[in-house]
Amino acid sequence: MVSYSRALKNVLREEAFYFFTSIGNYTGQSASSLDEFLQKIKDVDIKSLEFHLFREDFEKWIALTLGDNKLADEIKNLRAQKVVGNALRDRLYFIVSRRLKELKGASASTSAPVPKERSQLAVL
Amino acid sequence: MKSKGQEGSLDELDRQILAFLQEDAKLTYSEIGNRLSVAHSTVYDRIQKMEEHGFIKKYEALVDLEKIGIPLLTAQMNITIDPKEAENIARKLAKSGQVLEVSTSFSEEFVILAKVVAKDQAQLHSFIAKSIAPIPGVLRIRTAIVTKKYKEERFSLALKENASKKRE
């Protein structure tokens, strides 16, 4: 099960995602959170999205650093479909924004005050 | 040799000895002495003084890593940086064993030029992504992987001597 707070947190500079267009060629764009990652999907060079998707970098960062295996699996499926170009940007943006909304919604509902009986159920 | 510090403080004989040592550091004092028509003890004294004063930094073997089974990939990095962070970035790079050369340069933008080695492309990328891109002040990185070397030498004093003689 995903930890909503972990998936939505800002990670350390060393753990951020750094966008490259090819081996060793850093674009200057990075993302320290899923929110920031979503914004960068819109702006970053399309070559960078293709490069990282092919190398499985997105799914590894999302699973290992943000701890969100569900989103990592969705991106893995996208990779399997061999989507490229602007279609890739659009699909990736859609997948990540949908998941972000889901996480934020879940996070808000878990952090809201709940009756005692419900909170005990959640623990069980 | 007159004093330490400046190139000008070496005399012609010192420079000739250095030129021979640059070509082959294993030459004996006698061999150098014979070529320059001076006593081997003179060569010995001159070399001792040049070592003491730091004109000769060290003697090393140029190892062919590929032949001994350690093929390394070499890459040249051009790192665009925030000038305010230049010193900090250059020092951090210089500390890494994978980075062989670091220098700063300025053209249209402030850049650091660095020569880096890695086991393979995956390790090169991982090193740049995890150790260089996160350094504060790094704005962009362009990396060119060396595919074939046509020449790799250090500046030779013998060349300088030849050039000087031609001008005369």
| Minimal-distance CA residue of chain A relative to B130 | A14
Sheet holding B73-81, edge to edge: A17-22, A25-31, B138-145, B73-81, B110-118, B99-106
> Is ipTM over 0.90?
no
Q: For the domain covering B73-145, report its CATH number.
A: 3.30.70.920
Q: Considering only CB atoms, which chain A residues are within 8 Å of B136? A: 13
Confidence of residue A120 (pLDDT cuts 50, 70, 90): very low
| Domain tally, chain A | 1
Q: In angstroms, rounded to a whole number, what is the distance separating the alpha carbons of residues A76 and A90?
A: 16
**Contact state of B77 with A23 under an 8 Å Cβ cutoff:** no
Q: Please give the pLDDT value at position A2.
A: 65
Residue A32 Cα, gap to closest chain B Cα (Å): 11
**Residue A32 contacts B, CB cutoff 8 Å:** no
Name residues whose C-beta falls within 8 Å of residue A18's C-beta, 6 or more positions apart in sequence: A26, A29, A30, B129, B133, B134
Rounded to two decimals, what is the model's pTM?
0.79
Name residues whose C-beta falls within 8 Å of residue A25's C-beta, 6 or more positions apart in sequence: B141, B142, B143
Give the model confidence (pLDDT) of A3-50 as tens digits.
Answer: 777 778 889 999 999 999 999 999 999 999 999 999 999 999 999 999
Query: From residue B123, how far is each of A24, B65, B75, B147 by CA, in Å?
Result: 10, 18, 12, 16
Q: Please give the pLDDT value at position A117.
A: 47
pLDDT over threshold 80, residue B85: yes
Residue B141 Cα, gap to closest chain A Cα (Å): 5
pLDDT over threshold 60, residue A114: no
Domain B8-61 has CATH 1.10.10.10: yes
How many CA atoms lie less than 13 Å away from A4 in the CB half-sphere?
Answer: 13
Q: What percent of chain B has pLDDT over 70?
A: 89
Q: Which residue range forms the structural domain that includes residue A60?
A: 4-123
Going from N- to C-terminal start, the domains of chain B cover 8-61, 73-145
| Minimal-distance CA residue of chain A relative to B82 | A28
Which of A13, A24, A28 has the CB atom closest to B125's CB atom? A24
Interval A112-120 mean pLDDT: 48
Q: Please give the sequence-ordered ranges of beta strands (E in DSSP) within chain A, or none if there are none.
A: 17-22, 25-31
B165 φ/ψ angles, rounded to the nearest 5 degrees: -65, -40
Q: What percent of chain B has pLDDT over 90?
A: 71
Give the model confidence (pLDDT) of B28-49 as tens digits.
Answer: 999 999 999 999 999 999 999 9
Kindly state the tokens that stand for B91: 């020092």
Interval B11-23 mean pLDDT: 94
Q: Please give the pLDDT value at position B5.
A: 45
Give the model confidence (pLDDT) of A38-96 as tens digits.
Answer: 999 999 999 999 999 999 999 999 999 999 999 999 999 999 999 999 999 999 999 99
Residue type, B147: T
Kindly state the tokens that stand for A111: 């952090």
Kindly state the tokens that stand for B86: 């230049």
